[in-house]
Structures are given as structure tokens and as C-alpha cells.
Structure 1
């Protein structure tokens, strides 16, 4: 084994290999015994294509001139539905809904307008597609907000679009009962985000003699301003199931609609069966052919797969043994379920599970890159003390490379990663982006700071009114903890994050002196600008994270790094998409200019054609390599490779 300075190790995990061998695995669907998924391809400019799997062969469903992606809420999700062999999808470039049957070319269903669509349900009874509509007509022409509604679209005449429900600021999860005569859905109002409080409604779906589809007898089932409801679903026998955090944890419930007050908890646990609904179509449970509930849940940062018999709740959850620590996107049909499964040493994959015998297979893997395990650093879940006598969490990755070891008495540099959201969580699935660092001699700490999901509502609510404080404290305290444990070099600490994680990064570098360098990927530096110039979905998000604007404008100023550049004394790199609507590029550019005036080391890498997050392979590669080279200059080590 060679001895070399940490950071200078030669690694087989190059950025070229990462982008050439990696795809994004999106929403899963099951139809008539086949499994389908949305596949994002960085090598095709970030295009998304619906793929199918049948009899051990892959089928590319959508043609190359289509990009299956929704822009509702800007983040999208719920971009397609496949049922009875018919595919309906939202096309990114023109925002229209297309219908595709078999090998025939997709046909546009909806007219050209300023509307976006997502989260589809198919009504056999009425031949209509029920979905969320986000209308930007007046937002575009008069500067107002888009209007969101629940609509029904004729599948024979796409011009026939009827509004089923309107008036709420947001809608999601339209779900039809097995008989097709009842509809359940979620709605919520500003300033709530869906993880703060939503309402679950149900009503009778009826068509009048004139062909108008309406919802009659709408009734509020559960939820409210301070109760978050997630994923309503109908069981085969017509009961309505949902996930609620009314106990402080997202747990499963069922209700008999003949007696709405009789809401039955299915398994009270200090575990999360729900997730923050950043995108449409998220799913953590479904129903097998025998009526049993197949579900995934998170506990102490690890995912589990289980089944539950609604007819025999005394048996409780029965764990299904699968070797995955990260499970999401679960869908069920008949004797099979499919989900995203991953672990810290295994890339995320589409997994198809046979419920009759427990056997499973990986249908599609996010990366086909075969790497010797001797170069892979396994995640170690850690807990560490933070402010006010509390505990925070993270995943620690030690440097690992079969060919190298660090110099005697030296400690590795540490890269602290702050996830986006901020209401989100890091994943324990294999991240080649993290292994890129650890195989070169960096240690990495991926922090689930206060405000992260997966640890109950109280932990999630730690960030309320405290964004830019609690998250920064936890990232800094996580780094200090590793220093005191003798695992990393306290003089070579860096922090990096994207979006909200970029804000945490910039706050840590501006208001604290724990880190010597950092990198902001499309991060926020001006909270006022964000409050004034962001999209509808997040336009009131800061009310809970910071305070009401403009009433509490002073807090926005005090927590915006752009106003305190005089406190900066370290190096920062910025990576920014020039078409980003969530975090406009002018925020990064203002910060870069301020740093340049101070004469501090600064790197600014703008990307044409990129939005919030990078989808093109060449840009993903450049961002990764440029950040590494930046730290090499700051921490004064020589990379083993000349990076392009």
C-alpha cells in the first residue's frame, strides 16, 4: 500500500465514469404484470424517458423527441400514468399531456395553453384523466400567482377540461375508489408546506345529464393546519387509507367512510411512514392482491420493508427481509411490489419483489459501474451532541482506497455535506459522488441536521424560525465531533451543499469560523430576494423557517450572507444554473462580486441551460472536478490526476 497525503490518492472513481455510467431512476409503475419507471439520462442532456421491463428485456417506451417531466410546483413529479397499457405523460418542452398506446407515436391530448399538469388518475367510468392543473396564464401576464386546481380531462377530446375542485392554494393526490364513484384528494393553503398541514377530502364523483363531471358531498376526513396527511390510497375493499403525523410521527391510518369519525391507527410507532411531499406521486405503501398492506418506513435513518394484515392488526408489522437500507417509491400490484432500493455500498436500483416467495431481483441499477468494494467507504450512522443539550444525526464516510493510506500522524480533510430542502434527509444509498471524495482521501459527513425528516415531527420542527441557525450549528458541531474523535483534520474542514444546503453552507462560512472553505451549488445568499422572487410552491415557505415577510424583514437581513461579506475570511466556490427559477443566478453573482472585491479566493461556474440542479453530464462532471480542484488549492495538496 502506498503512503500519500490525504486528497492526493489516485482513484478509479472518476467523474467521467460517474456521469457515463449513471442514470436517475424516477417514479415506478406496475401495470398488467410489467414494471415501468422514469429514467433520467445525463448523457442525453438530462432527458427523461419511460422504460419498461418484461421477460428480462428492456423496452424504451417514449421516443427520443419527448422528455417525460412535469413542472408543476417547479419540482414536478407525478409526470406519468400507465394503466391498461395506455401511457399518459407530461412533456417537458411544451408542458402538454400526451397519450401513447402500444408502439404508436404519442399524441398530444391537451391544447396549447399556459397550464402544467401532474399527478394523474384514470377514471374508467367517465373516460377522463383526473389530475392537478397549475395555470400560469395570469401569473405570466399580470405578475400574480399561478392558480392550482383539480381537473378532469376527456381522453377523447382534450379540449374538454372540467374543474372539479378549486379555491385552495394547492392540490395533490387525486385517488379514485375501486368502483370509481368516489374521489379522495389532498389540499392545503399558504403559508403551509405539505409537511406542515394538509387536508384530506373525499367526495362522490358524478356526471350530470349534460356531461359535466362534479364532486358531490365533499367531506373533510382528516388533517388541518397542523396535521400533515400523506398519500391517500383506497384498499381493494373500499376503505380509505392515509398517513398522518397527528401523533408526532407519520403513521398509517384507515377510515370507514360510513363513519368518518372512526379513524383507525394501524400501527403506532416512533417511525416515519411518510415523506416530505416535494414532488407529486410519492409512495410508501400499497396493497397486495390478498389485501395485505405492503409498506416501507424509516427509523433512525434506516428504511425497512414490511407487511401488515388489516384483518389481524394484533400481529403487527412483519418485516420483509431485503438487503436495502434506503427504500422509497413503493408500488404494489397483485403478487408483486416494486421500489427503489439501495444501501451505502450498493447503488440504488429498481427492485421487483415476488410477494409469494420473498425473492427479488434488480430490474435496473442507477449505475452499472463495477467498483471493487476495497474502494468503497460504507456509511456509518452517527449521533453527536449539538446546541441546547440536543442530539443531531449524520452519516460518516471514512477515507478508503485499496492502494493508499495517509501519512503517519496526518488526519484527512473533512467535507461536510448539507442536504437540500431543507425539509428533507440524506440517503444511505450508494453515492458515487461521495465515493469520489473518500477514494481520494477525504472524509465526508452527510448531516441530517435539525429540520430533517425521518426522526419525527419534533425534530422536523426544530428548524421553524431557526433556519440558518440550527442547521449551521448541527453541521459545525458534527465537524467538531469528528475532530474530537481524532477522525479528521480540524484545520482542513470544508462544507458543501445545494439549494437550501447551499444556504446552510454560505451561512456557516459567513457567520462561523469553523470551516476553511466551501462550495455552494445553486445556494441562497439573499433571503429577501428569495422571498420576493421565487415560485408559488415555496413563496411562503420562509414564513415558518424565518418569519413573515415583510413584517419581520430585519430577520431576513440578519440571516442573509450577502449583507455580511465583511465577515468572510475563507474560500468559496459557486456553481449555478442560469435558468434556475427556484434560486435565481443573480444571488450567486452578487456574492461572487462581493468576494472578489475583498480579494478572497472565489470560483464561479455558471451553466447555460440548467435549472435548479444539474442534469447534463458535462455539467455534473465539471461541478464535481472543479470543486475538488478548488479544495486542492486551498488545502495545498496535489491531485493524482489532471482534471478537465
Structure 2
């Protein structure tokens, strides 16, 4: 073992390696006997490709660059493809990111557009498709802009002809519903084809606050009857609906305070754990019914497992294997279940469970150790005590290196990671961006502050009208607890986060003296501007719950915004922003920096062309990580080898 100061340990995990492994498989499905899914390609401009696993076990990307299978509906997107087999051949439809058109694809030909381009505002967008080849249509969510503003938009269920007749003709798209609800998910068709169900909600609610389960009949001509709400409401969040093979209606509701599974309104497995999660993307799936009557479920409390629920006994048998976290995507075919699982020692990979044998195996995107696993962090699951004695859940990643230790009298620097959302959580999975720091001797702690998901509605509701308070307090409490117990150096604490986490990082620098510096990534910085139209439609009234009604408490919006308190920030910071971001637009950063003029606080602002909300290009992520490490090196007086120096303005 070699004794070197924290932050100076040599590591084979460089920023380019971490960037190349960013992202994970998503939106799994079956096309006949074959499993298909989307997969990121950071080194190919950040696009997502469609991958198939043939019956002989071979996998291949079915769409070359520049095809990018990704929807922009509600900006976060959703299920961007669907597939089936017709006359022995695969038939697939998908959304292409660049033009947001829906395309038809067969493996022996080029993609053919099914929908037109609209020059109005954000155009026509599609998500959560359901293929109905017998009708010659694909049913899905249509998001249509009616003007140039982010709120000039309507959303309906629509039927698109599979013959391409709507490719240049908007009138050939058959609308199935009116726009009575601001938001809808894609339809789920009953096994007999006579009923359709979907979810809907309206401003100012978010789908984790309250949704409605809508049911209607499907007439012989393919039109829908009068929709009626059969479950849900402003304080009941239903996040998924589907049909069992016997025609029973299944859905996940949090009416008891936990997202549990229901069958025709009756609970199937009442537990104080989650069988659902926040619906940030249309088409997320936490359960999938099998032909046998069993139900595949992604469930847990603070983490998620893949299990098989027996509705008759309410018993859940979890799949055996090394995976400790499963993403909200599932597909079933016969007795096979495909999911996406990960662990602290492995990145997300395609997992197939055979429900007959109970055997689970990796079938795609298999984890391959890019470096010796001895350099991976060794996380600890911790619960800290915050203000008023409240629990705060966190993952602590101490500095870790197979051949280096620090001098015995030195305490390590630590970076507090605040996740985005804020109605979300940090999963405990292998992340080479975290390993990038811990393998160099910098600790990381992910804080699932009050308001995070995975711990029931009561924990989630802690952030109601308390955003910028509870999240900031919880992150600070964890940082201070690590310092008090001698785990972290009190004088070398930093905070970082992206999106809502960027907000928490910025507020923390303005409102506390806990941190020596911070990294603020595509953040919200000015609540009033964001609440008055500087963001997209989906989250345009999110602050009504997180902060309070703008019309009633306008002073609170100014009181909590870092832009209004730039004079209180004295710690150095790095600000990273995508110039194409419509969720947290660059104007927020520009306004904040204008308030920082003449403050003489060391800082750097890096804006990336071609990047939106969430960096996807390898070169962007590489520069961002290296810049972040350089900030910590300068502030904490570290000496990481081979890292370009970030120039700080003063």
C-alpha cells in the first residue's frame, strides 16, 4: 500500500471512461419471441438506438446513426417504440428524436415516416404507442403545439394509419379523445379489444400528486365511447394501468400512502413498500401480467427488486441474482420476463427471468468491467437524523483504492450529491462518475432528502411548499453528521447536483456555510422566472406544490431563489449548462451570473452547444467531470494527476 494524500490517488477511471458508460438500457419489449430495447450511445452524439436480441442469442443495433429513438413528449419523453410480428416478420414503429415523427420500420428496409411535420411551435410529438395491426393503426399519445409558447399545447389519444397515409396529411390522423385533460398516457386495450383505459391529470398537479384512471368502450369502428373516471383523484396517484389476460383491470395506486397493486379496485398485495414510482416518462412499467395469472413486479422500499406476485396468495417471490435495483421497465412473453437490473458492482443490464424455473440470467447490455473492480466504490446504506428528528436516507461512498491509503491524520474531502426531480431518488447502483471521485480519494454521499421517492407518500410530501428548505437542511445535516463522526473533513465539503439538484446545490451555497464550493448543473435558479413561463408545460406549475401558489406567496419565490441572494454566495462554484435546454433554460444561469458581477467569487461557467436537459454526449460529460474535479482540487488543495486546470474567473 502506498500512502498518498486524499485526492491524489492515481486511478484508471478517467472522465472519458465514465462518460462512455453513462446511461442505461430502457423501454424493453418483445417482438414475437425476441427481446428489444433502447440503448444509449454517448460516443455517437448521445443518440439512443434500438437493439434486438435474436432467438439465437445474438444482439444487434437495428438502426444506424443518426437515427435516435427518443420521444420529446412532455420533454422527458416516454415509451418511444412498439413492435409485433405480422406474417412472420417484425413490424416496429418508433419516434425519431430529430423530427419527432413516428416511423414504421421492418428489418429488411429503411424507416418510413407515418406522421407529418408541423411548423407550429414544438410541432407534433408522439409517445407510448400501441400497435393494432388488425386495424391498420398505431394508437398513442399525440402532443400538438398550437403556438410558439411552451404552454401552447394540447394532448390527446390518436390513431395513426400504418399505411403511411398520414405522413404528409395531419387530417389523416384520427383523434380518439378530446383535450379535456392536459396530460394523458397511452391507451391500454383490453384482451377482447372492447375497452380502453389510460391515465390523465391536469395542472397544477403532477402525476405523483394525483391522477385519474379513465375507462371507456371501444366500438367496432375503432371510435371510443364516453370516457369515465373510475379511480384516482387529486390526492391519489395512479401511475400505471394494464389488463390481466382474463380481462381484469390492474393498476398501481398510492391511496394507502404507498404505491400498491389493485385488481378491479381491490388490493392484491398491501404492503408498506412501493410497487410504483414517479411517472417522469410516459410508459414506465412497474408491473406486467403474465398469461398464467401471475404478475411480474418491480417493488421495494428504498430500493427495488424484481419479483413475481401471486394474486391468489399475495405472495411475492423475488428473482435470485446479484441485482439490487431494477428500473421501471418490464416486458413479458409467455413465461419469460425481461427487466433492467443493476447493483453497486454492476451497471444496468438486461435480465431475463424464466418463471417456470426461477432462473434469471443476463441477455443483453451485459456489464463488462472496464477496469479492475477493486477500484469500484464500496457504498454504505445509511439513515441520518435531521431537523426535528426526521430520518434522512443516504448512500455513503467513502474514498476507496486497492493500493493507496491516506496519511492517518488526514480526513477525506466529501461531495454531497443532490439528485434531480426533486420527486425522484438516487438508486444504489454502480456509477463510474462516482467511482471517478472515490478512486482518487474524494468521498461522495448521495442524499435521498425529504421529498424523495421510495419511502411512501408521507416522506414524499415533506417537500410540499418546502423546496429549498427541507432538501437543503437534509443535505447539510448529512454533511455535518459525516464531519461530526470523523468520516469527512469539515473544511473540505462540497455540494453538487443537476436540475432540481442544481437548485439544491445553489440554494445551499447561498443559505448555509457548510460547503467550501459547489457544482451547479443545468439548474433552476430563479423561481419567479421559472414559474412565469421560462420552462416547459409539464412542470410549469410544479412550483405550486413545491413552493406554494405564486399568486398567493410571490415573496416566497424571491426569498428562496439563489438569483435573489447572489450576494450571499462566497464559495467558489462551477456552473454547467446546455444551450438547448428548454426545461431549465440558459437564461436562468445568465441572470444569476449577472447578479454575481463584481462579487469577486471564483467561478466558472461552461455552456455546451447541442446539449439539452441532461448531458448525453461523451465529449460534454468528459469535460464536465474533469472541470468538476479541477474545482475541488483548487479549493481543497488536492493534486489529482493528469487533470486539465479549470480557469476560474474572479
Q: TM-score range by the shorter chain?
A: over 0.9
Query: Which deviations, in whole Å up to 9, do the C-alpha atoms of 1:447-476 show, x marking residues without a partner?
Result: 100000000000000000000000000000
**Equivalent residue for 1:291, pick from 256, 274, 293:** 293
Alignment of 1:517-532 (within 5 A): 517-532=517-532
Query: Which deviations, in whole Å up to 9, do the C-alpha atoms of 1:313-353 show, x marking residues without a partner?
Result: 2x522233232111121221112111110111111111122
**Equivalent residue for 1:92, pick from 97, 100, 106:** 97
**Equivalent residue for 2:107, pick from 95, 102, 106:** 102
Go from structure 1 to structure 2 and tell me whether the alpha carbon gap of 1:295 and 1:574 turns closer, same or farther (over 3 Å shift).
same
| Match in the other structure for 1:129 | 138
Q: Is the 8 A contact 2:151 2:536 kept in 1?
A: no
CA displacement at 1:426 relative to structure 2: 0.4
Query: Which deviations, in whole Å up to 9, do the C-alpha atoms of 1:350-406 show, x marking residues without a partner?
Result: 112222212222223376343323211122110001112211101111110012101
For 1:360 and 1:584, how far apart are their aligned partners in 2? 43
Go from structure 1 to structure 2 and tell me whether the alpha carbon gap of 1:477 and 1:366 turns closer, same or farther (over 3 Å shift).
farther
CA displacement at 1:52 relative to structure 2: 0.5
Note the residue ranges of structure 2 that are not aligned, 5 or more in a row: 646-650
Q: TM-score, normalised by structure 1?
A: 0.95
**Equivalent residue for 2:152, pick from 145, 149, 164:** 145
SS of the residue 2:436 aligns to:
helix
Query: Which deviations, in whole Å up to 9, do the C-alpha atoms of 1:126-175 show, x marking residues without a partner?
Result: 22211111111x232x7752111111112123242122122111101311
Query: Which deviations, in whole Å up to 9, do the C-alpha atoms of 1:205-241 show, x marking residues without a partner?
Result: 1144xxxx42114232210111000110111111110
Alignment of 1:54-69 (within 5 A): 54=54, 55-69=56-70
Query: Which deviations, in whole Å up to 9, do the C-alpha atoms of 1:59-80 show, x marking residues without a partner?
Result: 2212323211101001102111
CA displacement at 1:566 relative to structure 2: 1.4
For 1:614 and 1:254, how far apart are their aligned partners in 2? 40
Go from structure 1 to structure 2 and tell me whether the alpha carbon gap of 1:143 and 1:541 turns closer, same or farther (over 3 Å shift).
closer
For 1:368 and 1:584, how far apart are their aligned partners in 2? 36
| Match in the other structure for 2:610 | 609
1:636 aligns with 2:642: no
Most deviating of 363-372 and 61-70 = 363-372
Q: Is the 8 A contact 2:24 2:348 kept in 1?
A: no
For 1:32 and 1:542, how far apart are their aligned partners in 2? 44
Alignment of 1:214-253 (within 5 A): 214-253=223-262
Query: Which deviations, in whole Å up to 9, do the C-alpha atoms of 1:474-506 show, x marking residues without a partner?
Result: 000011111122111011000000000000000
CA displacement at 1:302 relative to structure 2: 2.1
SS of the residue 2:263 aligns to:
strand
| Match in the other structure for 1:178 | 191
Q: Is the 8 A contact 2:30 2:331 kept in 1?
A: yes
SS of the residue 1:173 aligns to:
coil
Q: Is the 8 A contact 1:24 1:41 kept in 2?
A: no
For 1:511 and 1:132, how far apart are their aligned partners in 2? 42
1:161 aligns with 2:161: no
Q: Is the 8 A contact 1:350 1:364 kept in 2?
A: yes
For 1:515 and 1:642, how far apart are their aligned partners in 2? 23
CA displacement at 1:590 relative to structure 2: 2.5
| Match in the other structure for 1:583 | 584
| Match in the other structure for 2:540 | 539
Query: Which deviations, in whole Å up to 9, do the C-alpha atoms of 1:16-72 show, x marking residues without a partner?
Result: 222335553221112222111111111000111100012221122123232111010
CA displacement at 1:548 relative to structure 2: 1.3
Q: Is the 8 A contact 1:275 1:453 kept in 2?
A: yes
SS of the residue 2:187 aligns to:
strand
Go from structure 1 to structure 2 and tell me whether the alpha carbon gap of 1:143 and 1:90 turns closer, same or farther (over 3 Å shift).
closer
| Match in the other structure for 1:501 | 501
| Match in the other structure for 2:648 | none
What root-mean-square deviation, in Å, do the aligned CA atoms of Structure 1 and Structure 2 show? Answer: 1.5
For 1:295 and 1:197, how far apart are their aligned partners in 2? 22
Q: Is the 8 A contact 1:22 1:366 kept in 2?
A: no
SS of the residue 2:262 aligns to:
strand
Q: Is the 8 A contact 1:17 1:369 kept in 2?
A: no
1:7 aligns with 2:7: yes
Query: Which deviations, in whole Å up to 9, do the C-alpha atoms of 1:111-137 show, x marking residues without a partner?
Result: 22221110111224422211111111x
For 2:477 and 2:395, how far apart are their aligned partners in 1? 14
SS of the residue 1:24 aligns to:
coil
For 1:70 and 1:144, how far apart are their aligned partners in 2? 18
Alignment of 1:39-78 (within 5 A): 39-54=39-54, 55-78=56-79
Go from structure 1 to structure 2 and tell me whether the alpha carbon gap of 1:62 and 1:338 turns closer, same or farther (over 3 Å shift).
same
Alignment of 1:555-574 (within 5 A): 555-574=556-575
Most deviating of 48-57 and 420-429 = 48-57
For 2:293 and 2:153, how far apart are their aligned partners in 1? 40
Query: Which deviations, in whole Å up to 9, do the C-alpha atoms of 1:149-206 show, x marking residues without a partner?
Result: 1111121232421221221111013111112221110100110000000000111111
SS of the residue 2:39 aligns to:
strand
1:319 aligns with 2:331: no
Q: TM-score, normalised by structure 2?
A: 0.94
1:549 aligns with 2:550: yes
| Match in the other structure for 1:401 | 401
| Match in the other structure for 1:202 | 215
CA displacement at 1:434 relative to structure 2: 0.5
Go from structure 1 to structure 2 and tell me whether the alpha carbon gap of 1:482 and 1:144 turns closer, same or farther (over 3 Å shift).
closer
1:335 aligns with 2:343: no
Q: Is the 8 A contact 1:13 1:435 kept in 2?
A: yes
For 1:198 and 1:225, how far apart are their aligned partners in 2? 6
For 2:68 and 2:150, how far apart are their aligned partners in 1? 28
For 2:451 and 2:21, how far apart are their aligned partners in 1? 33
Alignment of 1:469-484 (within 5 A): 469-484=469-484
Go from structure 1 to structure 2 and tell me whether the alpha carbon gap of 1:330 and 1:405 turns closer, same or farther (over 3 Å shift).
same
Q: Is the 8 A contact 2:83 2:131 kept in 1?
A: no
For 1:365 and 1:316, how far apart are their aligned partners in 2? 30
Query: Which deviations, in whole Å up to 9, do the C-alpha atoms of 1:502-545 show, x marking residues without a partner?
Result: 00000000011111100001011111111121111001100000
Aligned pair count reads 628
